[in-house]
Each structure stands twice: as C-alpha cells, then as structure tokens.
Structure 1
Amino acid sequence: MDRLECIKSMVTKCHTTADIGTDHGYVAEMLLNENICEKVIATDLNKGPLDRAIKHLTSVNLHEKCDFRLGSGLTVLKENEADAIIIAGMGGELIADIIEASKNIALKASQLILQPMTTGDKLRQYLKENGFKIIDENIVKELHHYYFVIKAVPGEDEITDEIFYEISKIILEKKDPLMFEYLHKILNVNENIIRSIEKNNSSDYNERAEALKMKNEKIRELMKN
C-alpha cells in the first residue's frame, strides 16, 4: 500500500473531508471515487498547487463535489464544517503548529488523519498534550523511506513510556513486519552514531552515547515482546 492509499484507507466514511495542503488533489479524488465522503474541501497555502488540484479534479469530473480554498492551514475552515481533516506530507512540528493555530476547529472534527514526513515523535507528543487521542496508526514504505499515518480523535490519551512518542505502540501491537524492518534500521543508525561518538571520547559525547545505548536496549526489548 502506498502513502496516499494508506491515508485514504484510514478515513472513516463521513459527509465532508478537508484536505489541507491538497497539492494535486489525488487524495480528494480517491475519497470521492470510493464514496468515503460526499464532499471535499481542498485547500492549499499556495495558488500553484491549488490550481493544479482544480485542473486535475475538473478533468476527472469531480470538481462539483469540491470546494477549493486558498489559505493557511485550518484557518480556511469554520467550526463543524469538516468531519474529517487530513494534513499530510509536511513535517510533524508544522502539522502540530497548524492544529495549534486553529485548535477549536481541529477539536470539532470527528477524525484527524495526519501523515508527518519527519518528527512524528513531536507530533504524537503534541496530540497527547493537547486533547487528542491516537486511535490508529499505520506504517508504509516508499522507496527507502518509512512513513507513519496517524488517526487521532478528540479525547484523552495515556502514554505509559516516552519511547512511545518515537515508536508507535499501536503499530508494534499489530506486529507489522514493516515496523520491525524500520526498528532494525533505527538500531543500525544509532549503533553507527554510538561508534562515531566513542571515537571522540569527550564527556558530553559519552552521555549521548549512553542515552542511545539505553534507547537501543529499550527498542530490542519492545521487539522481543
């Protein structure tokens, strides 16, 4: 399953989906073609991508089911206007900033589908600390990159260990083979950093090496369980 397919598959059937940063409008097309929603509010910060989405969705005769809006993040939405909100293809911290800037709107949606390109740990922590609960998560691989797709709803979440900001507990529990592949990659990256740190032999560096060793131990423990 590719990244966009995974995003689409995690949207629960609803009336209106807001696709924030729609780019070409491919996710909007998938959602409408499969009757997952009846209407898409396709938004983008920049005119170029929004024009591309308008052109593409017009070419596949779906433009009448779309409302195209130019603007930043969730500021183009009203409260209760979208049942599902998709924010994909940007950094985790930027996604958190977008939610924070219009938190009243995000908290009124029944589902958020979020796909961070980087810093998924920061996004998971933000959600936990700001009234959102992660109810599902998947991992996909495209070329050599691993991507996480997070589904969150308004609610309280419990985190038993801070490692679960970095490593999705939900995907671990699914025993997804891709997750184990991803964790092996993380272990190797950390081992390489530890080796290069130990060559430098300064006390600051040693502290960092120890922290990474402890993290690797924790990851191996999680993989075993």
Structure 2
Amino acid sequence: MTDMGNAPILSKMSQRLVTVAEMLRDDSGKKLAVADVGCDHGYVSIYLIQSGIASSAVAMDVRQGPLSGASDNIGEYGLLDVITTRLSDGLKELKKGEADSLIIAGMGGKLMMRLVKEGNLKELGIRTAVLQPQSDISEFRAFLRDEGFFITDEKMILEDGKYYFPMKVVTDMSQDEKEDILNKNIKSFLDLDNSLSREDVIRLFDRYGAHNLLRKDPLLKSFLEHGKEVCESILKSLDDSHLGRITEIKEELSDISFALKYMDE
C-alpha cells in the first residue's frame, strides 16, 4: 500500500464534496468531531482532517464494499488513528457524544429525512450538520423546519449539468431566535410585494432556499430561468384532463416569477 503521507486529497474530490466539507468549518476555528454518513470513498473525512476542520471523524456506510475502500484510502493517507470506519445504517451505530457535527451528502431526500429522524441528532450530541439531498429539496427544507432544525447557510453548486443545494443546519437554536430570523427574512419579501402572505414567502423559501434568495445567488437565477422554460413546456403538453397538474405548474410559475422579480430588484 502506498503511503500518501501529507499528499492532499483535494485533487480527487468534486466541487460538490469540497463545498459540503467546507460548509462545516467552524468560524471560531474550533476543530470538530464529525460523523460522515454514507462516506463512500472516505474522501470527505480525509479532507476534513487534512484541512483542519475536524480533529476526528467516524466514516460510516451501510455497505461493506465502500466502507472497505474508505478504510484503504484512509490508511493510504496515514489517518487511521483519527478516522474510524464503521458499518452502520445511518447513525444507528454512532455512540452518544462521539461526534458534535454531521455530514450526509448525495442521498435521496426521503432517505435522508428518515436517517435524520431516526438518528435523533440532539440526543447523540450533534449540534451542526451539513446536509445535501439529491431530490425532494423543497420537502426536505420543510422537514428540517418541522423537526426544529434551522438552516443557517445554504449554497448552490452547478456540476456536470446538475444543481445541488447543500444546507448547513443547527440543532440547538432557541425557538425565539429562529422565529426572529425567519420573521426578518419574511419581511424583506413582504416589503417588496405586500400582496404576498407569510405562507407564500415560506413556500418560496422551501422551494428555493432563503439564503439563496436573500443573497441573490447568480446560480439561482439561472436555475429559475431554466425552471420557467421547463414549466412552460410542460403546460403546453397538458390538456383539460390534467387540471390538477396544470394548477401545480401555474403555482410554480407564479413562484418563479416572483423570485426572479425579487432577484432583479
């Protein structure tokens, strides 16, 4: 086995994975203890240690094959003393207090919802997580809010023609603080168009991400413009036998139009 020593793992990682790992970085410089669920090749765990984001990691996967490959990679980089590999369905084999932070990236949204719900993050001692679902993005954002988590940051990535939406969440923010931030964010939209309701704005946040909208991310604009083209194309293909679907598409087009208007202000 080749000893990679201090060779950087960065060259083997996609922009998506680097962004996900960097989002976990603590602004105070504190090094984290991270659970990397669905670790695949183990690259994220290796990067977290090499870049000083984490002092330790538990690389977990439900499949023995990828886990063995991750263990080999971790060994090549000389990090077996600080990165543990563990066969686990989600967080089931993580011990309480073993990690204060979590990464789950590249899974379907519904699967990730199950893993987060079953994992009981607060009880395990997880305070911060970066979560990047591959699907059901709007539903996933609503799920996080309903479960008492708060999205403190979100990024957009365009890689190989696909958009990704990694989200940084905290588990221990007080309800009053969450409500205060949410109300301020909602107000910025209501000030632009007072015909909107609070529920309308929350729906926009769930669809596109409050942070992406508020920072007027250029990638979001291209995402919205593409979504508008797709919706208009779908509408042309539907007849009166699909009234329910037509209503859904028209609602989405309305949301896209308002989001674009906000971003152009």
Output the TM-score relative to the length of structure 2. 0.78
Q: 1:102 and 1:31 mapped to 2: Cα distance?
A: 22
Q: 2:117 and 2:81 mapped to 1: Cα distance?
A: 31
Match of 2:84, SS state, is strand
Alignment partner of 1:186 out of 206, 210, 227: 227
Q: 1:56 and 1:84 mapped to 2: Cα distance?
A: 22
Q: 1:209 and 1:174 mapped to 2: Cα distance?
A: 26
Aligned-pair CA distance for 1:186: 1.4
Aligned-pair CA distance for 1:72: 0.6
1:64-79 equivalent positions in 2, closer than 5 A: 64-79=81-96
Q: 1:107 to 1:185 in 2, by over 3 A?
A: farther
1:39-54 equivalent positions in 2, closer than 5 A: 39-54=56-71
- Aligned residue for 1:61? 78
% identity of equivalent residues: 31
1:1-225 equivalent positions in 2, closer than 5 A: 2-11=15-24, 12=26, 13-105=30-122, 108-154=125-171, 155=173, 156=175, 157-158=178-179, 160=186, 161-197=202-238, 200-202=239-241, 203-225=243-265
1:176 partner letter: D
Equivalent residues of 2:216, 2:263 under 8 A apart: no
2:254 partner letter: M
Deviations 1:142-197 (A, max 9, x none): 11001011000013445542121111110222222112111111111111112212
Equivalent residues of 2:31, 2:53 under 8 A apart: yes
Moved >6 Å (runs of 4+): none
1:173 partner letter: L
Q: 1:209 to 1:82 in 2, by over 3 A?
A: closer
1:4 partner letter: L
Aligned-pair CA distance for 1:220: 2.8
Deviations 1:53-86 (A, max 9, x none): 0011111111221111101111111222211100
Flag the structure with higher strand content: 1
Structure 2 alignment gaps of length 5 or more: 1-13, 187-201
1:188 partner letter: E
1:221 partner letter: K
Q: 1:86 and 1:55 mapped to 2: Cα distance?
A: 20
Deviations 1:11-30 (A, max 9, x none): 12433111001000110111
Name the Cα RMSD after superposition.
1.9
Q: 1:206 to 1:60 in 2, by over 3 A?
A: closer
Aligned-pair CA distance for 1:204: 3.7
Q: 1:115 to 1:212 in 2, by over 3 A?
A: closer
Aligned-pair CA distance for 1:35: 1.5
Equivalent residues of 2:34, 2:101 under 8 A apart: yes
Q: 2:108 and 2:77 mapped to 1: Cα distance?
A: 30
Output the TM-score relative to the length of structure 1. 0.91
Structure 1 alignment gaps of length 5 or more: none
Equivalent residues of 1:106, 1:112 under 8 A apart: no
Q: 1:206 and 1:111 mapped to 2: Cα distance?
A: 39
**Rg bigger for which structure?**
2
Equivalent residues of 1:45, 1:73 under 8 A apart: yes
Aligned length: 223
Deviations 1:33-56 (A, max 9, x none): 111111110000010010010011
Aligned-pair CA distance for 1:107: 6.8
1:201 partner letter: D
